[in-house]
Structure 1
Amino acid sequence: MPEAEPGYPQAILDLLGAGRDRPVFEHGPRTVTADELADLVGRISAGLREAGIGPGDGVAVVLGVSPEAFAAIVAVQVVGARMAGVRPGLAPGQLRHLLGHQIAAVLVDPSTATPQLRSAAAGRRVLAVGPVDGVPDLTASRAYPRTPLPAGRPHDVGRVIYTSGSTGNPKGCLQTYAALGAAWAPHPDRWPPAVRDLAANLDRYLVFGSLGSQVMLEYGILTLAAGGTMVVAEPPRGAEPFFPAAIVRHRATASVITVPRLAKLVAIQRTAPVDLDTLRALLVSGSPLAPARLAEAISVLGPVVYHGYGQTETGMISMLTPAELAAVPAALASVGRPPAAVEVQVRDGDGRPVPTGVEGELFVRTPAQASGYWADPTETAGVFVDGWVRTRDLARLDADGYLHLLGRARDVVIVNADLQYAGPIERVLSGHPDVAEAYVVAVPDEETGEAVHAFVVPAPDRRPDPDVLRDLVRERLGAASSPRHVTFIAEVPVSVAGKPDKRRLLADRRPALP
């Protein structure tokens, strides 16, 4: 019987092996070649094995943005462990919750090894990439294979991607090694046309935030496969805005951008423009971009905006390129055409596919989709249905195959690209003694893309204080869940079925009570 082919992340190791002395990372004054990055992967994977980490073990990766962070993520998957990317800024209780998910080791670096993190990781093995007092440095390993062999088993979970935690604790989305191996990013022969178009512009891809972010990491891998360089964005100087200063300083040709940051960039370029002559691609991610906003961005920035649509559970579903927008202006109101490898169905309330042009709920099937949620069989059963992912987004497909998003079947607000669920916010508000009922909807917001708007029915003879209600939500669920707007109403409008009608609330947001 022939020996099985090495699994994920062999394709990334192959890209590094072929790169040799090509620069693949810039980090401040450092330029790291493909050979040097491969050396880091080898050292860190050897250090993990020496620490007893192997297939099936959970490793929480709490790292900044650096070549070492990228190498560490690859190394964790080389040894076949379950890589759980933990983003900075979680509340202590949320962090302790995540580290309780069968985590064998916590991986830190000099920028993340805070006292709070060390306290939350008490009782677990802490390992470092880089010098951290009292913690073994995996990059110092000497005995390591030059070409490490991936040990991941196809049906083991290779990556856990956490949601924002707006329901109280972040939800872990699971990808198996088989799913990771089916991804398109490290394989140029699998690139859909829109991705191939984007890849041609990734000479200098600006990275920031966290490589634990699915989008930031995936397009970093795409940059590696496209022959480009990942460039770490330095923090802004003084009061200068992150964009466009980082683009200019690093001569970036491409980056990922959220809708709020895009709005700020457009506003800056209207009032105090700077020369963005190096910029060729901005991938808008995290929340829907209204057609008028997209048209404005193209008018001000030029043909550099790529409008992507996807979910944590599915990866990329569709992408709209500048070339398509120039050739098909009507596509402006869409999020592009799903590529051949992505199956989509628009279904009615009974789960039956509807004809082209008819609105319904979008179901998707992708080669690299997730398989479920960590320790949440109920939510898993509700979203992963017979091999399909229920997006809980309302959509329609037009006659030319373009996908149009029309709203949500789920009750969420997307604030700075993070999901904030309406239910927990409503429960916190309703728990205040001055509140009889509370209902939350999403409204457009210049700064955050969307914001929370709360409609509150006061308790009899009570006059709730909006600031007190905002502070209550902020304390319980975090600042992003705190209502930007509070409207007091005498009663909530209801649908013909007798249920609260949020569409009518959203249509008329004027205060109904003094």
Structure 2
Amino acid sequence: MARLVHNTLNAFDEFDDRLALIDGSVELSYRELRAEINRFCHALTRHGLKRGDGLGALMGNRWELLALKFAAQVLGLRFVALDPDHVVGGLPFLERDVDAALIVSDPAELVSTVDSTEPVAVQALDSDVAQLVYTGGTTGESKAVMLTFEALEFVTASFAERPRYPEGTRLIVVTPLAHALGTVGPALMRLGVPLEIHRTFAVESFVEACARAGRAAVHFYPSYLYRLLDDAAEIPGLVHVTTGGAPLLPYRYRQAIDRYGPVVAQAYGQFESFAITYLDHADAAENLTSVGRPVPGVEVKIQDGHVLVRSPGTMTGYWRRPELTAEVLHDGWLRTGDLGFLENGHLHLAGRAAEVIVVNADTCYVAPIEAALTTHPDVAQAAVVGVPDARTGQAIHAVVEPVPGRSPDPDALRRTVSEQVTPEHVPRYVTLIDRLPLTPLGKPDKKALPWPA
């Protein structure tokens, strides 16, 4: 029996009548959730699914998605969840790639004829592939990361090593359960933290949810925190924030601490290795430029400037992509694709190795340019890309989201880059837009950026 499933079900039994999930008017205790998990198990068994089969879920944020995922774990199925509004690569690509015996888009229909809530024997083993998670596809075609039950147990248990939330804290879910929250949420539920599920993120409804909860926590993207900073002076009830997906801009990090108090933590990980480092809110104020220390059980090393990770939570490989797997996994070490350095036990990221622009044979890394631009007081966020140029091969194009009510001067921005990086890194083109387009994972969508005028 997979330890992940054994430990999860034991925790749910222990919490029994405590609140587990809130989804609009639906409220489920842990005991009621266990019953629904059993119902889904019986439904999936009736459809002929057995250990090792693939199960897809094509639905947005709703409590049934979690119940279906837990049922898949009990049965030892290979589970993949996708947000129907953000299917990377498109649905035809997904259907070709995922090899699912069943794809569920209407969970109510799946269990409509099932009455039994009797427990089902756990069939999963530690070495089985528990889930596939599709990467964002920002650097090419999306690929699915394979995570075993053993790897997910390591990730789930790592949350117990972090500072616990105050008793009675509720996790406000505002990012897709088909992405990172589909792992973070169940891990916190195992600690007795109930989830309040929202379909999407909006500043006003989020602030209202925090006030209503009394004690609220959230795991979301840096861009969402920036929107709160721009639009929400106070957030009653907010006791903890963890961001992930990209490093926080240091000046924004300081702004968040000053406004909301020492409640902001930062996690660094990838779907390929979910839990790598963690910067606790108690340690943040003195280390705003880092993404924290390695999580217990995780090894991090720097090789020629590249960040490498070895961890029990690392992926088995990419689904049906042996060549890509061989490129990033060597002797148990994962080549993350990030550049960085270690200082006083803290990891500092310097950008993605693949994000370079070659101008007149000079290699210009994107991350330092973006970091320099965001130090300008009129800039909220910036994204930098290379565009073709007949004379220099490529030219640097900076797309800038101004602070609301500001209009930064492009030449002033160029001077900032020249002074903080090098003259070779100065953008030839600077475009101002109201808001940067984002991927489903909350990162700037560089494929959707406007071209220079």
TM-score by length of 2: 0.78
Match of 2:302 in 1: 346
Q: Which residue matches 1:407? A: 351
Is the CA contact (8 Å cut-off) linking 2:89 and 2:142 kept in structure 1?
no
Alignment map for 1:245-284 (pairs within 5 Å)? 245-251=208-214, 253-269=216-232, 273-274=233-234, 276-284=235-243
Query: Would the alpha carbon gap of residues 235 and 184 (structure 1) be closer, same or farther in structure 2, given more than 3 Å must change?
Result: closer
Unmatched runs of 5 consecutive residues or more in structure 1: 110-128, 131-135, 349-359, 413-421, 424-438, 461-465, 471-486, 488-502
SS of structure 1 residue aligned to 2:7: helix
State the AA in 1 paired with 2:179: S
Q: Deviations over 1:78-117 (max 9, x none)?
A: 11111012122246962111111311100113xxxxxxxx
Q: Does 1:374 align with 2:371?
A: no
The CA deviation at 1:50 is 0.9
Structure 1 residue 155: deviation in Å?
Answer: 3.0
Is 2:169 the counterpart of 1:206? no
Compared CA separation, residues 139 and 220, structure 1 to 2 (3 A): farther
Larger Rg: 1
Q: Is the 8 A contact 2:133 2:146 kept in 1?
A: yes
Give the CA deviation at 1:254: 0.3
- C-alpha displacement of 1:321: 1.4
**1-structure distance, mates of 2:221, 2:167:** 19
- Equivalent residues, number: 396
Out of 46, 49, 63, the position equivalent to 2:45 is 49
Are the aligned partners of 1:440 and 1:452 in contact in 2 as well (CA < 8 Å)? no
Equivalent residue, structure 2, for 1:457: 389
Q: 1:218 to 1:380 in 2, by over 3 A?
A: same
Q: Is the 8 A contact 2:175 2:201 kept in 1?
A: no
Q: In the alignment, is residue 294 of structure 1 matched against residue 212 of structure 2?
A: no
Higher mean C-alpha deviation, range 6-15 or range 260-269: 6-15
- Provide closer, same or farther for how the CA distance between residues 208 and 99 of structure 1 changes in structure 2, counting only shifts above 3 A: same
**Deviation for aligned residue 1:168:** 5.2
Structure 1 position 137, deviation (Å): 2.4
| Amino acid in the other structure paired with 2:387 | F
1:403 partner letter: L
Asked if structure 1 preserves the Cα contact closer than 8 Å seen for 2:132 and 2:144, the reply is yes
| CA pair 280-140 structure 1, distance change in 2 beyond 3 A | farther
The aligned counterpart of 1:336 is 292
Letter of the 2:115 partner, please give it.
Answer: R
Correspondence for 1:230 among 188, 195, 202: 195
Segments of structure 2 that go 5 or more residues without pairing to the other structure are 359-363, 400-409, 411-420, 431-451
Residue 96 of structure 2 is matched in structure 1 by: 100
Asked if residue 23 in structure 1 is aligned to residue 19 in structure 2, the reply is yes
Q: CA deviation at 1:11?
A: 1.6
Q: Residues 440 and 454 of structure 1 are in contact (CA less than 8 Å); yes or no, is this contact kept in structure 2?
A: no
Offset at residue 247 of structure 1 (A): 2.9
> Could you tell which deviates more after superposition, 332-341 or 75-84?
332-341
Corresponding residue for residue 306 of structure 1: 265
CA gap of 1:209–1:308, structure 2 versus 1, over 3 A, is: closer
What percentage of residue pairs aligned between the two structures are identical?
Answer: 28
**Superposed displacement of residue 342, structure 1:** 0.7
Q: 3-state SS of the aligned residue for 2:121?
A: coil
Shift of 1:241: 4.4
* Aligned counterparts of 2:195 and 2:221: Cα–Cα separation in 1: 19
Deviation at 1:20, TM superposition (A): 1.2
Q: Is the Cα–Cα contact under 8 Å of residues 12 and 190 in structure 2 kept in the other structure?
A: no
CA distance in 2, matches of 1:139, 1:367: 39
Shift of 1:388: 1.0
Cα distance in 1 between the residues matched to 2:160 and 2:17: 28
- Map of 2:151 onto structure 1: 179
Q: Secondary structure at the match of 2:294?
A: coil
Q: Is the contact made by 2:253 and 2:288 (CA closer than 8 Å) also made in structure 1?
A: yes
RMSD: 3.3
Aligned partner letter, 1:266 = L
The aligned counterpart of 1:164 is 136
Give the TM-score taking structure 1 as reference length.
0.69
Does the 8 Å contact 2:340/2:349 carry over to 1?
yes
